[in-house]
Structure 1
């Protein structure tokens, strides 16, 4: 993720495109995150077995 910060896809929870989601391979976890300048800001670690929130905010 550090070498390829845009590996995720645009989050449907944030249609503006500023929040990306990366589904961690071979797990049930998703990382919603933002890329600000040269920093990756992970908003939370989400277990896909849970009910998805309306927003990551």
Structure 2
């Protein structure tokens, strides 16, 4: 699972996540969600004999 990094921006005098860091964290969460969806699709194919497509598209 993704881990929130130490904030590189300053908000009200305290460290906080920059827009770039938030974007990277969201991209990591999406990658994890896609991997989970693909595993669930594989389980469905294996046990229920379905033909599920991958959850997320690969690199374009």
With the shorter chain as reference, the TM-score category is under 0.3
Q: Which entry has the higher C-alpha Rg, 1 or 2?
A: 2
**Larger proportion of strand:** 1
| Larger RCO (alpha carbons 8 Å, 6+ apart) | 1
**Larger proportion of helix:** 2
TM-score in terms of structure 1 length: 0.17
TM-score in terms of structure 2 length: 0.17
